[in-house]
Amino acid sequence: MLEPINVSMESLNVMTLAPMLIPVIGALFILVVDLFKSNLDKTLYVVLSLLFLLIDFGALVDSSGLFMQNGTLMGMFDVMLIDGLAILSQFIIVGASMLFIPLALTNKRFHEFSYPEFFALFLFMISGFQFMVATDNLILIFVGLETASLALYTLIAMHNRVKSFEAAVKYFTMGALAAGFYSFGAMIFYALTGSVEIGQIATTLAGNGYADLGFVLVAVTFLLASFSFKLSLVPFHTWAPDVYEGSSAAMAGYMSIVPKIAAFVVAMRLFEFLIHSGVVWLEVVLYILVVVTMTAANIWALVQTDVKRMLAYSSVSHAGFVMAAILIGSTQANSALFLYWVLFSFTNLGSFSMLWISRQKKLPDHQSSDHSYDKFAGMIHTAPIAATSMALFMLSLAGLPPFALFWGKMYMISSAVTSGYTVLALIMALNSAIAGYYYLKLIVYMFMKEPVVDNDGTVYASNATLALRFIIGFAAIATIFAFAVLNPTLEFITSFVYNSGY
């Protein structure tokens, strides 16, 4: 007879689960509310989800306190892994989500926000990402990833335009393929080591001294492919521009931040131990991926005629830029990754929100696409403040000091310099120069051209409500005065990254 398995509750320490469970509860709660009383106004759901996110954030603060006291802690049969990376990335995830969700409060009505399911799915997605980053178990990563992705596909589709369906289908199909790659890679690792926990895999491989390296590499190849898809590294990026264009500007901005940071954390867990144990192949491959992604995406961004699509390519390029951190793999580089992403998140959210508030229901005929450049011509005359803040975000994205992203770029390049990647550092620097052109192009349109006829500045703020203005204002101020809070942020990040052994 089998003996009953008894597990002591504290050995589980459920607290580790709290941050992930809160959004789930929130989602269910919203659904329940909808059950009892349907067609409530979206504002209710917005505020509700905001509340739950706030609680989530509080929980994170709590667990970060725990981490500072007694370092990394495992939980739930050692499936959960709450280390510095997990906490930092969750901070970014939840924080960005909190910035995003109020963007639903447009004064034009958009299809998706009228469904409470939208917000439920949104919260599910968040918990998915949180699971993804807070474990080193390949299964849980897979589950988290897919939960999040499936929710995301739906959210995109809910925008309910032809383009958004197309986008969703493309994203979905490629996502499915990526999932296949992931599971195949995981399978090989399992076959090699008999474990699906990254930590153990690492130890086992180190134990037998990478006896059959060939298979390891094959496994890494498949995992790399699937994450390159998530991180939109060339040539796995092809979904990015279309999906960004298809989905609403707000959602696009969100996609350029949250899923990627989750993917980055996993990539960090998966690949850095390999790099440190001297798998030269991976180093070479990553080097190529990074450089190609940065450069090619920049070059394609140059030739775009639609601002949103341009921003899509630029996000791809930024992702490549940050991927360099994983290639370099030093503590400074990893901290740089988080710093960069924090700064990037509100700069990018800001710029996408600018597009979001200028979103028209139907296009005037002189306008080829939603956010074509000429739509912004002469903006300085019609909507000076909007133009100025948009220019601000562009300059920040271009890495012009003292605006937010410059510090990220600088620290990242510095980490490359410190680890002896001189050429890489130069390539990164020059890429910023190339990128300068397309950000400048928008500024040129806004400040140096004459407005298109019948364009009084109203269009640029047609969606603006107080909430949106607040978000943008916050982003703008953060972009300018980033340097003021830079030092504490960096120290916080560095200590967390360092204490979790990266």
Partner 1 sequence: MEIGLNHYLVLSTILFAIGLVGVMRRKNLLLLFFATEILLNSVNIAFAAISHYYGDLTGQMFAFFVIAIAASEVAVGLGLLIVWYKRHGNIDLDTMSTMRG
Partner 2 sequence: MEIYLYLALFSPLVGSLFAALFTTKSKTLVAGVVPSLLLFTSFVSSSILLVHILNGGAPVHVEMMTWMATGDLYIPFGFVVDQVSVTMMMVVTIVSTVVHVYSIGYMDHDKSFNRFFAWLSAFVFSMLILVMSDNYAGLFIGWEGVGLCSWGLIGFWFHKESASWAANEAFIMNRIADLGMLIGIFLVYWNTGSLQYDHVFEAFKGLDVDTLALIGIFLFIGAMGKSAQFPLHTWLADAMEGPTPVSALIHAATMVTAGVYLVVRSNELYSLIPEIGLFIASLGAFVAIFAASMALVNRDMKRIIAYSTLSQLGYMFAAAGLGAYWVALFHLMAHAFFKALLFLGAGNVMHAMHDELDPFKMGGLGKTMKATMVMMTLASVALAGLFPLAGFFSKDAILEAAFVEHHYVIYSVLLFTAGLTAFYSFRLVALIFHGEERYTLFGIHPHEAYKFMLVAMSPLLLLAIIAGSLKMTYFEMVTAILPDIEYHIHSHVTFWIMTIGTQLFVVIAILYAYKKYTTIGMNVPDGTSETENTFMYKLLKNQYYIPYAYDEYIVKPYTKLSALFWTEIDQKVVDATVDGIAGVIYDSGEQTRDMQDGNLSTMLRWMVIGTIALLILAVMFGLTARYAHVLG
Partner 3 sequence: MVDHILSILIFFPALAGMFGFMINKDSIRAYGVAVGVIEFALSLLLWFWFDGGVAGMQFMEQIPLLPSFGINYILGVDGISLFIIVLSAFITMIGIASLTETPNVKNMIVTLLFLQMTMVGVFSALDGIVFYVFWELSLVPMLYIIGAWGGPLRIYASIKFFLYTFAGSLVMLVGMLFMAYFYYQATGEWSFAILDWYRLILPENLQLWLFLAFFLGFAIKVPMFPFHTWLPYAHGQAPTIGSVILAAILLKMGTYAFIRFSLPMFPDASVALMTPIAIIAIIMIIYTAMVAFAQKDVKQVVAYSSISHMGVIIIGTFALNVEGISGSVFLMIAHGVVSGALFLLVGVIYDRRHTKLMSEFGGLAHVMPRYATIFGLMLMASVGLPLTINFVGEFLSLLGFYQQSHILTLLAGTAIIVGAIYMLAAYKKMFFGDVTKEENKNLPDVNKRELLALIPLSIITIWLGIYPKPVLEPINKSAEAIVQLMHDKSITDEAKMRIPSPLNKAQTSQTSSEGAH
Instruction: Select from 222, 244, 346, 411 the one that contacts partner 3 (CB under 8 A).
Output: 411
Query: Rounded to whole angstroms, how far apart are CA atoms 442 and 445?
Result: 5
> Which are the contacts of 467, defined by CB distance < 8 A and separation ≥ 6?
102, 103, 105
Instruction: Select from 50, 139, 299, 467 the one that contacts partner 1 (CB under 8 A).
Output: 139
Using CB distances below 5 to 8 A depending on partner kind, what does residue 417 bind out of partner 1, partner 2, partner 3, none? Answer: partner 3
Query: Rounded to whole angstroms, how far apart are CA atoms 83 and 496?
Result: 8
Note the helical H segments in 277-363.
Answer: 280-302, 307-328, 331-357
Told to check if 150 binds partner 1 by CB under 8 A, we report: yes
- Residue closer to partner 3 by CB (options 433, 466) is 433
Contact 371, 304 (CB under 8 A): no
**Stretch touching partner 2 by CB under 8 A, among 251-259, 279-287, 371-379, 413-421:** 279-287
Using CB distances below 5 to 8 A depending on partner kind, what does residue 224 bind out of partner 2, partner 1, partner 3, none? Answer: partner 2
Query: Rounded to whole angstroms, how far apart are CA atoms 66 and 72?
Result: 9
Contact 33, 89 (CB under 8 A): no
Instruction: Select from 143, 410, 467, 480 the one that contacts partner 3 (CB under 8 A).
Output: 410
User: Could you tell me the CA-to-CA distances from 369 to 313, 393, 394, 484 in Å, in that order?
Assistant: 16, 21, 20, 38
> What SS3 state is found at 66?
helix
Distance in Å, CB of 303 to partner 2, minimum: 4
Instruction: Select from 402, 452, 462, 469 the one that contacts partner 3 (CB under 8 A).
Output: 402
Told to check if 235 binds partner 1 by CB under 8 A, we report: no
- Residue closer to partner 3 by CB (options 131, 340) is 340
- Residue closer to partner 1 by CB (options 243, 413) is 243
> Which are the contacts of 175, defined by CB distance < 8 A and separation ≥ 6?
149, 153, 229
Q: Which of residues 287-316 bind partner 1 (CB under 8 A)?
A: 303-304, 309
How many CB atoms sit inside 10 A of residue 284's CB? 11
Contact 156, 247 (CB under 8 A): yes
Distance in Å, CB of 161 to partner 2, minimum: 16
User: Could you tell me the CA-to-CA distances from 423 to 318, 413, 420, 426 in Å, in that order?
Assistant: 18, 11, 9, 5
Distance in Å, CB of 110 to partner 2, minimum: 25
- CB under 8 A, 24+ apart: contacts of 210-217: 210/277, 210/279, 213/279, 215/188, 215/191, 216/189, 216/192, 216/274, 216/279, 217/279, 217/281, 217/282
Using CB distances below 5 to 8 A depending on partner kind, what does residue 212 bind out of partner 1, partner 3, partner 2, none? Answer: partner 2
Told to check if 425 binds partner 1 by CB under 8 A, we report: no
Told to check if 430 binds partner 3 by CB under 8 A, we report: yes
- Residue closer to partner 3 by CB (options 213, 430) is 430
3-class SS string, 458-472: HHHHCCCCHHHHHHH
Told to check if 236 binds partner 2 by CB under 8 A, we report: yes
Instruction: Select from 47, 303, 433, 466 the one that contacts partner 3 (CB under 8 A).
Output: 433
Beta bridge partners of 137: 197
- Residue closer to partner 2 by CB (options 188, 322) is 188
Binding footprint of partner 1 on the chain (CB under 8 A): 138-139, 142-143, 146, 150, 153-154, 157, 162-163, 165-170, 172-173, 176-177, 179-180, 183-184, 186-187, 190-191, 194-196, 241-242, 245-246, 303-304, 309
Binding residues (CB under 8 A) for partner 2: these are 169-170, 173-174, 177-178, 181, 212-218, 220-222, 224-225, 228-229, 235-236, 238-239, 241-242, 280-281, 284-285, 296, 299-303, 434, 437
